[in-house]
């Protein structure tokens, strides 16, 4: 029994979470933890189990085995299900709005379902629609909106009861670049308020920009880490140097250094480095000392796309 005045920390935990539909295993032995105030991104190809994972965590489908907790409450426990639903918001892959109601009345309806007092409801709706850039369209029927506009209303609906944990399933999938930026900024604003955010996305650039940590799912969770940790797991850092001419004295000078790997391609030199800021000046000094002339120096890092392709293949 929680102590008087106790408020659960809005963390997300999964422990060997598994879901099977007949012979099909949609999510297999999924274990991870999302900390309070963190943006956690889940990447994976179509059919990898991302949406099923969200439905499990939001109490929309039952688990086959394993456990999960939201804010300390157990997913699948009937007594905890309503508590979890009150503390989370969900933007599903299908927005499911009432198209014969205005944007404002859609949000007001859901605010009433969550029993928010009228004044709080009005203030929340105005704040959310203004943040998402659709306040001017509040009295228009949702059925007249574009897919992108409907997605924004669905995001506002997920926040109308002021949840501490937010699940987003492809939140920018139908948005143009400007609207997608508005939504990303909105997500970062929610993070700054201390909310915990779980994000499904196919947009690698989006995940790299806003996620604190990223997991890659192929039914099983194959890897998890910060964007920088995942990038370093591919091939670390490299420095490339373009010379006016790769003379023999320059080659000998470079290869005399304690470097891990050196690759020459004509006048271009690529070196594996551990600490570019420390090693690059030493390499350039050796080249210049041997009479070499440098045209440019640049650092190379793997991208999140390199990471994603490595693991999903």
Domain count, the chain: 2
Task: Tell me the pLDDT tens digit for each residue of 185-220.
Answer: 999 999 999 999 999 998 888 999 999 999 999 999
Q: b/e for 1-33, b at 16 or more Cβ within 10 A? A: eeeeeeebebbbbbeebbbeeeeebbbbebebe
Q: Of 225, 249, 271, which residue sits at a domain end? A: 225
Which domain does 267 fall in, by range? 234-301
d(CA 191, CA 188): 5
Task: Tell me the pLDDT tens digit for each residue of 242-283.
Answer: 999 999 999 999 999 998 889 999 999 999 988 888 999 999
- Are 252 and 196 found together in one domain? no
> Does a structural domain hold residue 312?
no
- Are 180 and 39 found together in one domain? yes
Task: Tell me the pLDDT tens digit for each residue of 84-106.
Answer: 999 999 999 888 899 999 999 99
């Amino acid at each position: 029994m929680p102590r008087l005045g106790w408020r659960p920390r809005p963390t997300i935990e999964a422990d060997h979470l598994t879901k099977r539909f007949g012979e099909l295993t949609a999510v297999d032995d999924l274990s991870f933890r999302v900390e309070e105030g963190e943006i956690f991104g889940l990447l994976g190809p179509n059919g990898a189990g991302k949406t099923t994972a969200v439905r499990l965590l939001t109490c929309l489908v039952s688990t086959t085995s394993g456990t999960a907790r939201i804010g300390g409450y157990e997913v699948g426990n009937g007594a905890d299900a309503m508590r979890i639903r009150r503390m989370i918001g969900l933007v599903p892959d299908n927005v499911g709005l009432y198209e014969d109601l205005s944007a404002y009345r859609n949000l007001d309806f859901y605010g009433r379902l969550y029993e928010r007092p009228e004044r709080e409801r009005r203030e929340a709706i105005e704040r959310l629609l203004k943040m998402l850039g659709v306040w001017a369209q509040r009295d228009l029927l949702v059925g007249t909106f574009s897919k992108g506009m409907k997605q924004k209303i669905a995001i506002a609906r997920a926040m109308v009861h002021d949840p501490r944990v937010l699940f987003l399933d492809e939140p920018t999938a139908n948005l143009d670049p400007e609207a997608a930026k508005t939504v990303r900024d909105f997500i970062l604003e929610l993070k700054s308020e201390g909310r915990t955010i779980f994000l499904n996305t196919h947009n690698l650039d989006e995940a790299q920009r806003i996620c604190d940590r990223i997991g890659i799912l192929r039914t099983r969770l194959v890897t998890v880490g910060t964007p920088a940790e995942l990038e370093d797991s591919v091939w670390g850092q490299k420095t490339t140097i373009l010379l006016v001419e790769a003379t023999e004295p320059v080659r000998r000078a470079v290869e005399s250094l304690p470097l891990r790997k050196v690759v020459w391609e004509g006048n271009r030199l690529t070196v594996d480095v551990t600490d570019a800021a420390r090693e690059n000046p030493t390499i350039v000094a050796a080249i210049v000392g041997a009479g070499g002339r440098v045209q440019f120096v640049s650092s190379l890092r793997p991208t999140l796309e390199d990471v994603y392709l490595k693991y999903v293949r």
